[in-house]
Amino acid sequence: MCGICGVLDFGGPGGLAEPQLLAMADTMAHRGPDDRGVYVSPDRRLGFGFRRLSIVDLAGGHQPMANEDGSAWVVFNGEIYNHASQRPGLEARGHRYKTHCDTETILHLYEERGPEGVNDLIGMFAFAIWDEKKRQLLLARDRIGIKPLYYAVVGERLLFASEIKAILSQPGVPRQVDQEALSLYLSFGAVPAPKTLFAGIQKLPAGHRLTVQANGQIRLERYWEPVFPEDGYTRLSEEECVEEVRRLFAQSIERRMMSDVPFGVFLSGGIDSSFNVALMSRMMDRPVDTFAVAIQGDQASDERSQARAVAEHFGASHHEVTITPDDFVHLLPQMAYHQDEPLADPVCVPLFHVAKLARDNGVIVVQVGEGSDELFCGYRDYTRQMMLEPYYKAFAAMPRVVKAPAAAIGRRMLSTGKALYLDRAAKSAPIFWGGVEGIPEATKRAMLNGYSNGHWALDWLQGQYQERREAGGKGALLDEMIYLELKHRLPELLLMRVDKMTMANSVEARVPYLDHELVRFALSVPPGMKFKNGQTKYILKQAARGILPDWVIDRAKAGFCGSASNMVRGPIVDAAEALLKNNPTLRELMDWSPLLEMCRRNRQGVGSTGYHIWMLLNLAVWYSLWIQGAEPDRISRWLKA
C-alpha cells in the first residue's frame, strides 16, 4: 500500500527535478512511512514520486520500478492478489523478475497486453505506467474503486496522485470550488466521479483507465462495468448458490491474507465482520487479531459485548478502544486534511480510531466488511423502496395535472421522507437516489444563493441509470439500486472513508466482500434470494449458517457505531454553531442559516437532522482548511463555542 504521484509535461524542453517529485510524494508520507522513491525520464518531461508502506517482499519492491530494459516504469498503490499465479506463465514467456513483489506482474502484463493487461489483475489498485517507446502514460483504477486516483491538467502539465493534497502542492494549481460538484455533494454525500470539489481536479472513476500521450492527448475509457447481461440470473438452486457464495467468499479472504506483516480484522460482532473472522480463523495457525470501537456513554450503539463474544468463540486476540463525543470535534481538522474533500459520514471518526488501535498494536493490514450490505440487500431502506415501488410507479404514471397539486399538498401534510418520495414521483424521477439522502433540493438551492442548477443532481442520476440500460442491465429495482451503489456510494464514500482513515494511520484495509469475482456472482443472484421471507441478506445468512453461531446470524442489524442520529449530538452541534460564528467569511461559499436551524431542531429532538449537520460541518471545515487556507490549530479554536 502506497502513495503515488507524478507529472507529465506536454510542452517545452522539460524541467522536472527529483526534489520537486519527492516533495510531492512527501505530502503523503502517512501512506508510505517505510520508503520513498523517484524517477525522472531522460528528457525530464515525465516524473514519478512514491511513498511505500511495506506489506509484501519487505526487502524488495522499491518503486518507481522498471521493466527489464528500462523502457517502461510503474508506480503502484494497492495489492495484486493473483500476482504469484500469474508469474509462472509470464516467466515461461520470457519475462524476468527481480523481486517477489506484485508490482512487477503489472509491468509484465502491460508489456504483453498493453492497457488490456489490467483485465488480468485481481486486487485493489491504482497505478501509473510510463511507456518510453510509445511516449504514453497509462493511469488505471481498480474495478470497484477501492483505491483512489486523482488527476488535473494545469497549463501544459498533467498531474496525478493518490491524494489531492499532492496535486495542490504543485505551483499553479488553483484552489477553487466546483459549483456543480458542491451541489452534487449536498445531494449525495460525496462528489461523484469524475468530479471533485476542487475545480479542475478530477478523480479517475472505478473501472476506468486514462491514456495520456506525450503531446497532451487524453483518452478516458471504461474497462469494467458492474452489468453482465450475458450472465442473466443464475440458474443455480438456492443450495448451490449458498455453496458458491461460501466458496467465493472463502477464496476472497484467503487471497487477502497475502502479507509479510501482521494482519487482522475490524470486528463489530455483526454477520459481515464475524463471517470474516470465522473463515479466517480456519485458515490460520494463530489467533486472529480483532479490533472494535465504541462511543462512550452511548449504550444503544455499543456492540463490544457482541464483538467480544464472537472473538471468544473463535479464539481471537481481541482489542478495543472507546471514544467520546468530544473526539469527533477534536478530529475534524485532521480528518478534513486526510479526506482531501468532505465525506459526509460520521463513521470516519470511529474508523480513524479503530485503525489507530490496530497500528498501535503492530497490525498493519486489516480486513473490513464493506460491500456486503450493498451486494446482498442488507438495508431496510432497500426493502422499503422495493415495497413502495408499485405505488410509486402508479402515481408517477398519473397526469401532471393530478401529480403537481398532490405533491404540493404532500409537502405541507406529510413527513419530510414521504413528501420527498411524492415529489420525486410527481417529476417522474427515479425512486432510488442512493444510500445517502442529502439536503432536499429546494433547501439546497436556497443555500447556494442561486448558483445551483436545479437539474444537476437529477441529470447525474438519470445518466447513471441510462448507462445501466445501455449496458443491458436487468430491470429489477434491487439490481438498479446495487448498480447505483457500486457506481457512487461504495467507491466515493464508503470505500473512500476506509482508505483515507486507515491510511491516515499507515494501515492497509482490504475488502473481501468486494472481490470482483464475488461481486459478479452476487449480481447474478435473483432479488428473491437476497430478500426472502422478510429477511435481508438471506442468501449470505444461509451461507454463514453452520459456520457462525445462530445468535450472530439472527441478531438485529446495527450500524457501525449506530448512526448519525446518535453520533451527531451535543459537542458536534455546538462546534457547528461556533464555527459559523467564529469564521463569518464562510458565507462566501453559501448561506449557512439552514445549518443553524438544523442545530436548533437537533437540540429540541425534532426531526433527523444529525446527518445533515455532519454533512455541512464537514463542508465548512474543508472550506476553511483547503480554500481559505486556515491552519488546523486555528480551525480547532473556531470550533470551540
> What is the DSSP annotation of 475-512?
--HHHHHHHHIIIIIIIIIIHHHHHHHHHTTT-EEE-G
Q: What share of the chain is helix, strand, coil (3-state, %, to 5)?
A: 50, 15, 35
- DSSP-derived pairing of the beta strands 136-141 and 123-131: antiparallel
Note whether 144 and 490 are within 8 A (CB): yes
* pLDDT above 90 for 408: no
**Is 338 within the bounds of a domain?**
no
Note whether 77 and 125 are within 8 A (CB): yes
Regarding whether 349 and 458 lie in a shared domain, the answer is no
* pLDDT above 80 for 378: yes
Instruction: Give the whole-number percent of the chain exceeding pLDDT 90.
Output: 76
Average pLDDT on 231-253 reads 95
Regarding whether 578 and 433 lie in a shared domain, the answer is no
* pLDDT above 80 for 417: no
* pLDDT above 70 for 165: yes
- The reported pLDDT for the residue numbered 539 is 98
Task: Give the model's confidence band at 454: pLDDT under 50 very low, under 70 low, under 90 confident, else very high.
Answer: low
> Crossing angle, helix 179-188 and helix 610-622, to 10 degrees?
150
Regarding whether 145 and 247 lie in a shared domain, the answer is no
Give the CATH number for residue 300: 3.40.50.620
- The reported pLDDT for the residue numbered 429 is 87
Whether omega for the bond prior to residue 194 falls within 30 degrees of 0, making it cis, is yes
- The reported pLDDT for the residue numbered 57 is 74
**Is 333 within the bounds of a domain?**
no
Domain count, the chain: 4
Regarding whether 357 and 310 lie in a shared domain, the answer is yes
Regarding whether 181 and 155 lie in a shared domain, the answer is yes
Regarding whether 458 and 352 lie in a shared domain, the answer is no
Measured in whole angstroms, the distance separating CA 331 from the mean position of its chain's CA atoms is: 20
φ and ψ of 631, to 5 deg: -70, 145
- The reported pLDDT for the residue numbered 437 is 82
Q: Which of 367, 352, 353 is nearest to 288 (CA)?
A: 367
Task: Give the model's confidence band at 542: pLDDT under 50 very low, under 70 low, under 90 confident, else very high.
Answer: very high
Regarding whether 214 and 147 lie in a shared domain, the answer is yes
- DSSP-derived pairing of the beta strands 157-161 and 150-154: antiparallel
Average pLDDT on 309-337 reads 95
- The reported pLDDT for the residue numbered 397 is 87
Query: Greater confidence, 634 or 458?
Result: 634
Give the CATH number for residue 12: 3.60.20.10
φ and ψ of 600, to 5 deg: -65, -45
Cβ-proximal residues to 522 (8 Å cutoff; 6+ apart), any chain:
245, 375, 376
Regarding whether 183 and 284 lie in a shared domain, the answer is no
Task: Give the model's confidence band at 450: pLDDT under 50 very low, under 70 low, under 90 confident, else very high.
Answer: low
**Is 230 within the bounds of a domain?**
no
Q: Tell how many helices (H) and how many strands (E) occur in the chain.
A: 27, 17
What is the value of pTM for the model shown? Answer: 0.96
Residue 636: all three cell numbers together: 480547532
Host domain of residue 453: 380-474
Cβ-proximal residues to 520 (8 Å cutoff; 6+ apart), any chain:
228, 231
* pLDDT above 80 for 366: yes
- C-beta atoms surrounding 270 within 10 Å: 24
- Choose the final residue of a domain: 448, 474, 500: 474
Cβ-proximal residues to 518 (8 Å cutoff; 6+ apart), any chain:
245, 248, 249, 251, 252, 375, 512
Residue 218: all three cell numbers together: 487524453
* pLDDT above 70 for 629: yes
* pLDDT above 70 for 61: yes
- The reported pLDDT for the residue numbered 609 is 80
3-class secondary structure, 44 = coil
* pLDDT above 90 for 18: yes
Average pLDDT score over the chain:
92
* pLDDT above 70 for 500: yes
Average pLDDT on 168-193 reads 95
- Choose the final residue of a domain: 428, 451, 474: 474
Measured in whole angstroms, the distance separating CA 221 from the mean position of its chain's CA atoms is: 20
* pLDDT above 90 for 412: no
As a whole number of angstroms, the longest Cα–Cα distance in the chain is 73
Q: Which of 547, 522, 497 is nearest to 277 (CA)?
A: 547
- The reported pLDDT for the residue numbered 404 is 84
Kindly state the DSSP code that residue 626 receives in the 8-state scheme.
I
Average pLDDT on 202-213 reads 98
**Is 331 within the bounds of a domain?**
no
Measured in whole angstroms, the distance separating CA 195 from the mean position of its chain's CA atoms is: 14
Regarding whether 505 and 457 lie in a shared domain, the answer is no
Residue 242: all three cell numbers together: 449458498
**pLDDT tens profile 103-142:** 999 999 999 999 999 999 999 999 999 999 999 999 999 9
Distance separating the N- and C-terminal Cα atoms of the chain: 39
**Is 311 within the bounds of a domain?**
yes
Regarding whether 186 and 213 lie in a shared domain, the answer is yes
Instruction: Give the whole-number percent of the chain exceeding pLDDT 70.
Output: 98
Cβ-proximal residues to 159 (8 Å cutoff; 6+ apart), any chain:
5, 6, 7, 151, 152, 153, 167, 170, 173
Average pLDDT on 298-307 reads 85
Regarding whether 542 and 600 lie in a shared domain, the answer is no
Alpha helix stretches (DSSP H) within 55-125: 83-92, 103-113
* pLDDT above 90 for 356: yes
- The reported pLDDT for the residue numbered 208 is 98
Note whether 318 and 557 are within 8 A (CB): no
- The reported pLDDT for the residue numbered 608 is 66
**Is 332 within the bounds of a domain?**
no
Which strands sit side by side in the sheet containing 46-52, from one edge to the other? 35-40, 46-52, 2-9, 157-161, 150-154, 201-203
- Choose the final residue of a domain: 410, 439, 474: 474
- The reported pLDDT for the residue numbered 452 is 60
- DSSP-derived pairing of the beta strands 2-9 and 157-161: antiparallel
Regarding whether 510 and 527 lie in a shared domain, the answer is yes
**Is 340 within the bounds of a domain?**
no
**Is 231 within the bounds of a domain?**
no
Average pLDDT on 538-544 reads 97
Average pLDDT on 32-49 reads 95
**pLDDT tens profile 146-162:** 999 999 999 999 999 99
- The reported pLDDT for the residue numbered 426 is 86
**pLDDT tens profile 549-608:** 999 999 888 777 667 677 888 899 999 999 999 999 999 999 999 999 999 998 888 766
Q: Which of 279, 214, 361, 221 is nearest to 548 (CA)?
A: 279
